[in-house]
Amino acid sequence: MSTAHKLDCEAAENDCRFIIQSENEQEAIELAKNHMKEGHGKDFTEEELRREHLQVV
Ligand SMILES: [Zn+2]
């Protein structure tokens, strides 16, 4: 069974419905990083995203 890496932006930013889900962790992090920067003007490091926001489902 494969796992997916998921970031639910609503947990990090109120009122944002953006959800990223990918089987590729690196891809999920890249997408999350771009979204946080472009959508919220916030810079997260890959490590922060991986540690604090990425869930394995
Ligand atoms: Zn968002």
> pLDDT by residue (tens digit) across 13-49?
778 999 999 999 999 999 999 999 999 999 999 999 9
Domain spans of the chain, in order of start? 5-56
Residue 11 has pLDDT above 90, yes or no: no
Query: What pLDDT does residue 15 have?
Result: 85
CA 52 to ligand 1 center in whole angstroms: 14
pLDDT category at 12 given cuts 50, 70, 90 is: low
Query: What pLDDT does residue 2 have?
Result: 82
**Distance between CA atoms of 26 and 50, rounded to whole angstroms?**
10
CA 14 to ligand 1 center in whole angstroms: 8
**Distance between CA atoms of 10 and 3, rounded to whole angstroms?**
21
List Cβ neighbours of 57 (8 Å cut-off, separation of 6 or more). Answer: 3, 4, 5, 6, 21
CA 10 to ligand 1 center in whole angstroms: 7
Query: What pLDDT does residue 47 have?
Result: 95
CA 24 to ligand 1 center in whole angstroms: 20
CA 33 to ligand 1 center in whole angstroms: 10
Closest CA to 27 of 53, 2, 4: 4
Q: Number of helices (H) and strands (E), helices first, in the chain?
A: 3, 3
